[in-house]
Each structure stands twice: as structure tokens, then as C-alpha cells.
């Protein structure tokens, strides 16, 4: 029997309703949550995501300021903007949309964002906290994957989890989150040998490699939960994940589609983190 398709949009909407209630409560205490979103350059996908973020903020009542800078912006100019945002008491969360133009070092920018306002959870302090088991602000995409598992009531403790991909944004924090939930975690990457032998052991398979249809049905354990983090636009314009949905859905117990799976959760967890960041604001 084909696996059940996970409706990430529906889960995201449910969580956003709870976020909206929290925003109302904060406003009644005189606190208006504020998020700054910085976009450098004209990358079309980034423009879409930033637009989605601003719209989502508006829908739940968070104040968002989108700052669009030309691709020619220097690293020093961007650092100066981040410093200004760090100092603003009305801004609780700061996010610099990735990827940045090649001449700007992402690591330097991430390091410059105050860890207390780092709603992406990419700052080494927040990453380190996650890895020592005391999470603070958690990267939105892996956090969204975890929420999907929790919202569906799927067991994590004691399960074999395999994460394919070792990026700082998704793979590594995803592994840390699953470990925190007591899964037995394996991380696979481009140099992994016998990949399908490992993926076939996974009760929970998270795929974030950025390669269209990379994982096929024969690489999936029957009944597994498959979370597809990939978003790849084919030359035809069609959006596909890193998992070949039709063959994997025949084998999996649960599977996220692309679009409409993990993506909407990423933005929901950004809203969630913006409210969490209020707890770290200097009084």
C-alpha cells in the first residue's frame, strides 16, 4: 500500500494559528514582535522566499522589515547594517537570506548577527547549544522536520534515523535534533559508500542533498518516514525534491511531497523563532 502523504501546509497552518495567539498575547503586554529580513542581490528564488516570509509575518501579526540591497553591496556595508539591527530594541529577530553574493563571506555575516537575534539559528553559539543538548534558537528547516514528526505523533526515540546531507543549515542540525530525541543517527554524504544499504536501514530518512530525485524507492525501507528537504527546479519549470516521490511513496509509510511538505514548515519555524527571540532580548 502506498505511504501516506504528509501535508506540510496543513501542519504549518495549524502551528501558525497558535503563533498568532501568542502574538496577540504579546501585543496585549505592549510587545510588538519585530523581524528584519535582509536580502542582498536579485536571486529569483530568494526573492520568492523573502516575499513568503514577509507575508507570513503579516498574517500572524509580526512586524517585518525587508531590506533589499543591491548585489554590489560590500561585506563591510552588510556588516554595518547587521550591527545597526543588533542595536535596535524593536527588532527581535534578524535574518540574512542565503545564498549571499560570492564576494561576501557568509560565515562572517552569520557571526556578526547577535546570537540573541539569530532566528535562523546559524550562529556558532546557537549551533553549539544544539549540539550539547541545550537548544536555544534552532535552524528552521530541521526544526520544521522535527515538528512534522511530533505533530504526526511518530516515534523517534530508539528509531534508526538516516540524514543524507551534511550542510550546516540542514544536515548537521537535523542529526543533532534527532539525537536529542534519542534516535540512533547516521549522517551520509557525497563520499558515503554503499549509500542505499544505509538508507534502507532508516526508520526515519531525511534527505537534503540538493540533487533532484536522488533517492529512489529501492533505497527506502518499507514503512519508513521520508522527509524530503530538497527543492529543485527542473529545466521544465517543475519543482521536485531530492526524493523520487512516485517510487518512494510506494515503499514509505509516510512521505513529504515537494512542494507542500517541509518548505512551509521552514517559514513557520521562523515565525516561532522570532517569538522565542523575544525571551533573549536585553531588558
Ligand X SMILES: Nc1nc2c(c(=O)[nH]1)N[C@@H](CN(C=O)c1ccc(C(=O)N[C@@H](CCC(=O)O)C(=O)O)cc1)CN2
Binding to ligand X by residue 259, rule CB under 6 A? yes
180 as an active site residue: the answer is no
63-71, 128-136, 207-215, 254-262 -> range binding ligand X (CB under 6 A): 254-262
Point out which residues pair with 233 in neighbouring strands: 239
Closest residue to ligand X in the complex (CB): 263
Residue 39 or 183: the one with the smaller Cβ distance to ligand X is 39
Is 192 within 8 Å of 163 (Cβ atoms)?
A: no
3-state secondary structure of 28: helix
Residue 97 or 180: the one with the smaller Cβ distance to ligand X is 97
Dist CA 38 CA 40 (whole Å) = 7
Binding to ligand X by residue 258, rule CB under 6 A? yes
Cell of 238: 517543475
55-63, 194-202, 214-222, 256-264 -> range binding ligand X (CB under 6 A): 256-264
Catalytic residue among 118, 120, 203, 242: 120
Is 188 within 8 Å of 164 (Cβ atoms)?
A: yes
Write down the least CB distance from residue 250 to ligand X, Å: 22
Binding to ligand X by residue 48, rule CB under 6 A? yes
Residue 95 or 252: the one with the smaller Cβ distance to ligand X is 95
Selection from 270, 165, 144 nearest residue 211 by Cα:
165
Q: Is 167 annotated as a binding residue?
A: yes
Residue selected from 23, 92, 93, 97 as contacting ligand X according to rule CB under 6 A:
97
Q: Any residues with CB less than 8 A from the CB of 240 and at least 6 apart, and which? A: 212, 213, 230, 232, 234, 258
Is 174 within 8 Å of 276 (Cβ atoms)?
A: no
Dist CA 67 CA 85 (whole Å) = 11
Residue selected from 73, 180, 199, 266 as contacting ligand X according to rule CB under 6 A:
266
Point out which residues pair with 187 in neighbouring strands: 163
Residue 56 or 178: the one with the smaller Cβ distance to ligand X is 56
Q: Any residues with CB less than 8 A from the CB of 84 and at least 6 apart, and which? A: none
Residue selected from 118, 120, 181, 228 as contacting ligand X according to rule CB under 6 A:
120
Point out which residues pair with 227 in neighbouring strands: 206
Only one residue has cell 521562523, namely: 270
155-163, 215-223, 262-270, 273-281 -> range binding ligand X (CB under 6 A): 262-270
160 as an active site residue: the answer is no
Q: Is 247 annotated as a binding residue?
A: no
Dist CA 247 CA 128 (whole Å) = 37
Dist CA 265 CA 116 (whole Å) = 22
Q: Is 166 annotated as a binding residue?
A: yes
Dist CA 219 CA 239 (whole Å) = 21
| Residues 191-210, mask of contacts with ligand X (x by CB under 6 A) | --------------------
Binding to ligand X by residue 145, rule CB under 6 A? no
Q: Is 165 annotated as a binding residue?
A: yes
Write down the least CB distance from residue 133 to ligand X, Å: 22
For the annotated binding site, the residues are 165-167, 231
- Catalytically active residues are 53, 97, 120
Q: Where does this chain bind ligand X (CB under 6 A)?
A: 48-49, 52, 95-98, 120, 140-141, 231, 239, 258-260, 263-264, 266-267
Amino acid at each position: 500500500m502506498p505511504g501516506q502523504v504528509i501535508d506540510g501546509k496543513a501542519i504549518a497552518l495549524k502551528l501558525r494559528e497558535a503563533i498568532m495567539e501568542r502574538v496577540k498575547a504579546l501585543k496585549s503586554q505592549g510587545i510588538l514582535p519585530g523581524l528584519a529580513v535582509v536580502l542582498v542581490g536579485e536571486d529569483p528564488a530568494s526573492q520568492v522566499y523573502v516575499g513568503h516570509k514577509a507575508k507570513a509575518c503579516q498574517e500572524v501579526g509580526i512586524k517585518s522589515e525587508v531590506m533589499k540591497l543591491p548585489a554590489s553591496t560590500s561585506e563591510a556595508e552588510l556588516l554595518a547594517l547587521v550591527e545597526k539591527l543588533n542595536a535596535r530594541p524593536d527588532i527581535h529577530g534578524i535574518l540574512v537570506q542565503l545564498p549571499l553574493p560570492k564576494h561576501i563571506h557568509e560565515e562572517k555575516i552569520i557571526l556578526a548577527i547577535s546570537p540573541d537575534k539569530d532566528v535562523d539559528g546559524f550562529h556558532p553559539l546557537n549551533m553549539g547549544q544544539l549540539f550539547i543538548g541545550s537548544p536555544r534558537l534552532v535552524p528552521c528547516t530541521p526544526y520544521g522536520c522535527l515538528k512534522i514528526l511530533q505533530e504526526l505523533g511518530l516515534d523517534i526515540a530508539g528509531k534508526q534515523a538516516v540524514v543524507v546531507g551534511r550542510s550546516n543549515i540542514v544536515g548537521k542540525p537535523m542529526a543533532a535534533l534527532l539525537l536529542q530525541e534519542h534516535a540512533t543517527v547516521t549522517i551520509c554524504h557525497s563520499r558515503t559508500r554503499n549509500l542505499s544499504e544505509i538508507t534502507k536501514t532508516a526508520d526515519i530518512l531525511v534527505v537534503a542533498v540538493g540533487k533532484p530525485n536522488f533517492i529512489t524507492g529501492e533505497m527506502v525501507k518499507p514503512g519508513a518516514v521520508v522527509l524530503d528537504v530538497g527543492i529543485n527546479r527542473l529545466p521544465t519549470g517543475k519543482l521536485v525534491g531530492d526524493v523520487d516521490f512516485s517510487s518512494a511513496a510506494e515503499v514509505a509509510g509516510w512521505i513529504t511531497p515537494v512542494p507542500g511538505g517541509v518548505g512551509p514548515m521552514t517559514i513557520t519555524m521562523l515565525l516561532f523563532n522570532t517569538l522565542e527571540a523575544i525571551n533573549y532580548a536585553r531588558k
